[in-house]
């Protein structure tokens, strides 16, 4: 299972530990991924996601999952988040669009 945020895609980064003697040894910077259940007011259901705690703070700041997804550019979201965003937009627009003959 990948250590990646389901909303923003934040993942493991690599770098070096640098000792006093300036010796560089490899290390990993793991994101703080948590399993959370976020509720969507528009969809009327709860969604279980693996989210970085940094992203969770942003979701709370934006007013919940719906506000976060609608206010974030598509390029910054992961495919699962884009599916949720499309479902929310579809629900807000009233479902199907009528076509004219």
Q: What is the CATH classification number for the domain harbouring 44?
A: 2.30.170.40
Can you give the residue range of the structural domain that contains 77? 13-93
Task: Walk along the chain (101 residues) and give the pLDDT tens digit of each residue.
Answer: 678 999 999 999 999 999 999 999 999 999 999 999 999 999 999 999 999 999 999 999 999 999 999 999 999 999 999 999 999 999 999 866 656 65
In a domain, 89, yes or no: yes
In a domain, 70, yes or no: yes
The count of structural domains within the chain is 1
pTM of the model: 0.82
Distance CA 97, CA 84 (A): 19
In a domain, 100, yes or no: no
In a domain, 44, yes or no: yes
In a domain, 61, yes or no: yes
In a domain, 7, yes or no: no
Q: Which residues of 57-95 are buried (b: 16+ CB within 10 A; e: fewer)?
A: eebeeeeebbebbeebeeeebbeebeebbeebeeeeeee
């Amino acid at each position: 299972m990948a250590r990646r945020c389901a909303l923003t895609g934040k993942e493991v980064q690599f770098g070096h530990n640098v000792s006093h003697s300036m010796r560089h040894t490899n290390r990993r910077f793991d994101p703080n991924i948590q399993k959370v259940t976020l509720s969507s007011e528009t969809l009327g259901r709860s969604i279980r996601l693996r989210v970085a705690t940094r992203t969770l703070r942003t979701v709370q700041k934006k007013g919940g999952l719906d506000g976060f997804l609608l206010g974030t550019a598509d390029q910054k979201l992961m495919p699962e988040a884009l599916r949720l965003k499309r479902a929310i937009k579809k629900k807000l627009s009233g479902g199907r669009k009528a076509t004219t003959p």
